[in-house]
Amino acid sequence: MGLGFNNLTVEIGEATQAYKVTYNDHTDDFHTYTEDGTIVKPKPDPGFEYALFARVLLDLGGEEPTPYVVCAGHTADGTSAACHYLATKWQQIWTNNREDLMCKHMTGILYHRAGQPSLIQELSQIHFRPYRKPMSS
């Protein structure tokens, strides 16, 4: 699990090409991608903050790819909101998307009222991108 934007979450985004950390205006920022590669940027309403919620697959040399979850907010409250969402909604996400999660990366954007990370709107702007095993050299 990657929490917040740090070297690990940046590297996971680069390896999977499911999202990209951008650090705009001296803040933690990101964008995600649709299945066809279109960039999706967070668009919060006034008074709302946002966070990245991603479940991606990484090739760590085993027979099957290893799943990782990334919870990373535009602010510290955003990271807290994404972690709260994971703790309370993971079973529902898994149940509703099991087939896709077995072979695709999933990204979504969580919006929450600024200063209230536990009052989360539903995950939105959800996209699935195919997992592609890296070519060996």
Helix (H, G, I), strand (E, B) or coil at 69: strand
Question: Could you read off the pLDDT of 28-84 as tens digits, one per residue?
Answer: 789 999 999 999 999 999 999 999 999 999 998 888 999 999 999 888 888 888 999
Q: How far is CA 80 from CA 13, 21, 66, 84, 111, in A?
A: 19, 18, 24, 6, 12
pTM of the model: 0.88
Mean pLDDT of 115-121: 80
Higher pLDDT, 117 or 128: 128
Share the mean pLDDT of the chain: 88
Cα–Cα distance for residue pair 54/88, rounded to 1 Å: 15
Cα–Cα distance for residue pair 44/114, rounded to 1 Å: 10
Cα–Cα distance for residue pair 59/79, rounded to 1 Å: 25
Q: Where are the domains of the chain?
A: 12-52+107-121
Cα–Cα distance for residue pair 47/45, rounded to 1 Å: 6
Residue 105, pLDDT score: 96
pLDDT bucket at 27, cuts 50 / 70 / 90:
low
Q: What is the DSSP string of 86-136?
A: HHHHHHHHHHHHHHHHTTEEEEEEEEEETT-TTSBPPPEEEEEEE--PPPP
